[in-house]
Amino acid sequence: MVHRRNKFRLGILVSGRGSNLQALIDASKKKEIDAEVVVVISNNPKAFALERAKKHKIPAIAPPDQSEKAFINILKQYDVDLVCLAGFMKILSPAFLKAFPKKIINIHPALLPAFPGLQAQKQAFDYGVKVTGVTVHFVDEGCDTGPIILQSPVVVQEDDTLGSLTERLLKEEHKSYPKAIQLLATERLKIAGRRVIQRKK
Ligand code: GRF
């Protein structure tokens, strides 16, 4: 391993626009988190997230070999402490999870366990909930079922459209993801079964 270790090292998996990636890059640059994005990997070579990473001189890789093994190898090569899924549209296999035990997290735009899976904002909006929100959770073998690190509520306003609600949820995502990562970077979390417990400072 060729990298000097000082900060908590993040490997980010993306498939699309990468606004959450951008929030993490910004939080790191502003020193709001004791962590840095050391590599960005995409299953989609056209993902705008890759451009965002390149702009900040962060290695941005869309491996021609799309096997999970290739992804794992890159993450190991960059010696990451944490794998963050940020709009990554692929379910990880048990073998992938085993390669990074308790070291993979995801952000989901609803208050799990309500509205897992795709288009969570729309699911919540169409259901007519009064409160929805954002969840950051560890990734396990299910779809959006892993232990919850943190949740932030977002109130649905009477005059919300799906678009306005999605926008407010996204803003909340951009605050919640760095917060959760900071808890991990500073070793403040303990997983006890389904519960993720915050140690006092
Ligand atoms: C976010 O809403 C995230 O919660 C979900 O996919 C979207 C990704 O957006 N998993 P972006 O690529 O980070 O802008």
The pLDDT averaged over each successive group of 10 residues in the chain (201 residues) is 74 98 98 98 98 98 96 98 97 96 98 98 98 98 97 98 98 98 97 94 72
Contact 49, 21 (CB under 8 A): yes
Q: How far apart are CA 197 and CA 34, in angstroms?
A: 20
For the record, the structure tokens of 46 come out as: 């056209």
> How far from the centroid of its chain's Cα atoms is residue 97's Cα?
15
Three-state secondary-structure class, residue 51: helix
Three-state secondary-structure class, residue 105: strand
The conformation of residue 59, written as its DSSP 8-state character, comes to -
Q: What is the pLDDT of residue 4?
A: 54
Domains 1-101 and 106-201 in one fold? yes
Q: What is the pLDDT of residue 17?
A: 98
Q: At the topology level of CATH, where does 1-101 sit?
A: Rossmann fold (3.40.50)
Q: What is the pLDDT of residue 200?
A: 80
pLDDT by residue (tens digit) across 24-69?
999 999 999 999 999 999 999 999 999 999 999 999 999 999 999 9
Length of the chain: 201
Catalytic annotation on 108?
yes
Phi, psi of 184 (to 5 degrees): -75, -40
Cα 21 to middle of ligand 1, angstroms: 9
For the record, the structure tokens of 183 come out as: 């808890």
144 lines ligand 1 (CB under 6 A): no
Contact 13, 20 (CB under 8 A): no
Measured from the CA of 121, which atom of ligand 1 is nearest?
2
Phi, psi of 10 (to 5 degrees): -105, 130
Q: What is the pLDDT of residue 1?
A: 53
Q: How many Cα atoms are found within 13 Å in the side-chain-facing hemisphere of 160?
A: 23
β-strand pairing of 131-138 with 104-108: antiparallel
H or E element that contains 104: strand 104-108
172 lines ligand 1 (CB under 6 A): no
The CATH H-level superfamily of 106-201 is Formyl transferase, N-terminal domain (3.40.50.170)
| Burial (Cβ within 10 Å: 0-12, 13-18, ≥19) of residue 15 | middle
For the record, the structure tokens of 64 come out as: 């021609």
For the chain, the structural domain boundaries read 1-101, 106-201
Q: What is the pLDDT of residue 149?
A: 98
